[in-house]
Structure 1
Amino acid sequence: MPNNTYQDALNRLEKIGKLADINEEVVSTLMYPKSTLTASLCVRMDNGSREYFTAYRCRYNDILGPTKGGVRFHPDVNQQEVEALALWMTIKCAVVDLPFGGGKGGVTVNPKKLSPMEVERLSRSFIRAMADFIGPNVDIPAPDVYTNERIMGWMMDEFEAIKRMKTPDVITGKPLSLGGSVGRGDATGRGAYLCIKELEKKNGWNPEDKTVAVQGFGNGGYNVVKLLQKDGYKIVAISDSKGAIYSDKGFDVDSIYHAKQESDKVKAVYCEHSVCEQVEHDRLSNEELICLPVDILIPAAMDGVINSDNIDDIQAKHIVEIANGPVVSDVDDKLKEKGITVVPDVLSNAGGVTVSYFEWVQNRNGISWSEEEVHERLKKRMVEAFNQVWEIAEENDFSLRESAYTLALRRIENAIEAHGTQKYFSR
């Protein structure tokens, strides 16, 4: 994520705030993170040496509730990235009406170069540094890039050891055996899928007639196209960090996922039982995939992939963002002019934080919901949020991004005004 991403996020916030006639005091409040903690984590390596890693945790805004957001382990993590992600999480939680503010954390590290035991020590060191900055009623971490449920289990265990009490609600995205929730694994992709199904209803299209390209075949990208394929959508292009495959005949998603788990590469194959056969396909770059003439483009990998360099070449009719910030703010207006519908990340990838909320609720109440109940609760919240965003767009001739931000900012505005703004105190 480039260093100007946070400024780009602020520019978009300020622009939409003015467009939606949001109280300037509210927008001004959201221009600054409430608090960001930086720490140096000392980790004993397997060879006996000590290494130091820079860690961050941002609690951006907690007017609607305790902050919530993932922790990522990645070599490009920096303060600007963490604060941008925490701002987006603030907006996201408000869009789907969760009683949370936005938070985010990260460690500047390449976890692929660490042993499993070194990753565990790093995870526990992160919690020791952040133990007084997080908590079930203050800030609740979750998995993100290169972190997973096992790492969340280590983090929860370390927090409980420090506090000398059981606190399963301090972390979400945990293993089921440690208080995790069913339905959390595919929640991000399922949330995006539910948004696409609402688009389908609004436009009255037939799934069998629609082509889909997904850039990024991780958890979110895989799960959304898996669900779409079951409904008849044709998945014609898939990519990972190494490149893309394309076939106008479409691919079998599960076969490609199976091959990727075996080889760590996206391969154009069809698998029946344990036998996989290569199917006819073209090799593309990730940049070429972004510009394919498909009905639905799903950027599910990196930020900033749709920008001023390629905006004129974008041919997709609909863009559904699973990655955080895949479209830079400078091209928002151009996409609107081209008639391309963009379902923004603050809505379409909100399934993950929504089911994290469900996990938090279950932990706090000592109950467990079935997978069917989790799916139904997620569907209800995502569909309701989508239709609220759609209605604002229809009434004001806004893009869906402008509408989603408007919905979120109005909810935050109501909470801030309840405490009193300049207008109240100057009467």
Structure 2
Amino acid sequence: MSPSKGGIRYAESVTREEVEALACLMTLKCAVVEVPYGGAKGGVAINRGDYSPAEVERITRRFTTELHRRHLIGPDVDVPAPDFGTTAGDMAHIKDTYMQLEGQSVFGAACVTGKPVGQGGIRGREEATGLGVYFGIREFLSNKAVAAGAGLPTPWSVAASTFAIQGLGNVGYWAAHFIAKNGGRVTAVGERDGTVLDAAGVDVEALKAHLVAHKSVAGFTNGDSPSLVLVADPAAVLAADVDVLIPAALEGAITSANAHVVRAKVVAEAANGPVTAAADDVLTARGITVLPDLVLNAGGVLVSYFEVSKALAGLRFGRLTQRAEEAAMENLLSTLQNHGITITDRDRRRLVIGADERAHVYSGLEDGMCAACGETVKVAAEKGISLRIAAYYTAVSRVANALGSRGLWP
């Protein structure tokens, strides 16, 4: 059996049934992006805000100890990661506790992912899920059939589109960051105390800094934009007139009670289960395309897989190749110059770059997301089913094929 993979969440509302359901979904999410792990999930029923940092650390270490006593954590058993209410610092405490209990195992850093880089984490993990959302939206909507079915122009481009983000936490922020970086216009952002609307575009970086400083959208000026509108209703973002709505908060944000207000042509599920089954029927009946969470937010588990691979190899990605790649390109440019071709300093700086760890992670993430989106679109077209059902069909088929080909023992 392969080891399992999934996040640990700290939330007062967490239940055994919720954890079991999320573990099942993680099995399918790993399968849809071809990560060779089963699914898992963990939870502690606390509100971390009620505890001091020292108390949270003790809770985390005790939880890890109980997992270890039951042989439920380790690189070859189960590899947790951050989830709702947990942080990279918590993952560092899990790693340290595990290594103390295991006697400083050389592979101990592979027992958990989402750690700080200095504790054996990997560059690019923090933004992985949000960047994966960006890659997924781009890949799905670059398919002419998907874009046309959503009523979008073909060829579709990020730069010619408008976006609304519900929730500017880790996933929502990084998705918005990469959308804006690639020319997309974010015109609406919903947070817990209100919605920011600006047809000219919301400065995502400025809004994030404002939220960190003030814990509220109140007082945000968006660079004194004359077209800025602040609405006290956080759900107003769902009715934003945009091409793509990205619910990136908690599950169940769009229900049968509010699905009728959605004006976007596409709903891209960055959160886990943000659209209920009943709401999905309403959106589909209205001709709104839903990009499924099973694929769209799988970037986190992909890069977690890379982090485990790094820990087991004991070697940073790019360490053996970066300088060699730069030297090879330098030699190529020098040869071209010797043959009379002019290479400007600007071109040289742009070309003589070896792939560092972050570049390797981004490349692997993009490859994995593109492959998963492409397969989902292909299956949907072949079977005449929705993208969501196609994603589940692909995942379940892969799990069934893996079990069938392995056979039974004894």
1:134 pairs, out of 73, 92, 107, with 73
Deviation at 1:394, TM superposition (A): 1.4
Separation of aligned partners in 1, 2:48 and 2:242: 35
Q: Which amino acid aligns with 2:401?
A: N
SS at 2:9's partner residue? Answer: strand
Where structure 1 has 5 or more consecutive residues not aligned to the other structure, the ranges are 1-62, 422-427
Alignment of 1:7-406 (within 5 A): 65-131=2-68, 132-166=71-105, 167-202=108-143, 203=147, 204-266=155-217, 268-270=220-222, 280-369=228-317, 370-406=357-393
Which structure dedicates a bigger proportion of its chain to strand?
1
Separation of aligned partners in 2, 1:93 and 1:249: 38
C-alpha contact 2:176 2:204 (8 A) present in aligned 1: yes
For residues 12-36 of structure 1, what are the alpha-carbon distances to aligned partners after superposition, in whole Å with 9 as ceiling and x for unaligned? Answer: xxxxxxxxxxxxxxxxxxxxxxxxx
Deviation at 1:374, TM superposition (A): 0.7
CA spacing shift, 1:84–1:74, aligned 2, 3 Å: same
Q: Which amino acid aligns with 2:134?
A: Y
SS at 1:270's partner residue? Answer: coil
Q: Which amino acid aligns with 1:359?
A: E
Deviation at 1:66, TM superposition (A): 1.1
Separation of aligned partners in 2, 1:306 and 1:296: 14
C-alpha contact 1:229 1:235 (8 A) present in aligned 2: yes
Q: Which amino acid aligns with 2:305?
A: Y
C-alpha contact 2:138 2:157 (8 A) present in aligned 1: no
SS at 1:126's partner residue? Answer: helix
Larger Rg: 2
Separation of aligned partners in 2, 1:237 and 1:170: 39
Deviation at 1:387, TM superposition (A): 0.3
C-alpha contact 1:270 1:278 (8 A) present in aligned 2: no
SS at 1:262's partner residue? Answer: helix
TM-score, length-normalised on structure 2?
0.83
C-alpha contact 1:307 1:330 (8 A) present in aligned 2: yes
Q: Which amino acid aligns with 1:235?
A: V
Separation of aligned partners in 2, 1:391 and 1:230: 29
C-alpha contact 1:246 1:284 (8 A) present in aligned 2: no
CA spacing shift, 1:120–1:278, aligned 2, 3 Å: farther
SS at 1:326's partner residue? Answer: coil
CA spacing shift, 1:164–1:376, aligned 2, 3 Å: same
Separation of aligned partners in 2, 1:238 and 1:281: 11
SS at 1:319's partner residue? Answer: strand
Q: Give the RMSD, CA atoms, in angstroms.
A: 1.7
Deviation at 1:279, TM superposition (A): 6.9
Deviation at 1:333, TM superposition (A): 3.0
SS at 1:217's partner residue? Answer: coil
Deviation at 1:199, TM superposition (A): 3.0
Deviation at 1:278, TM superposition (A): 9.0
Between Structure 1 and Structure 2, how many residues are aligned?
Answer: 354
Deviation at 1:282, TM superposition (A): 3.0
C-alpha contact 2:199 2:227 (8 A) present in aligned 1: no
- Which residue does 1:29 correspond to in 2? none
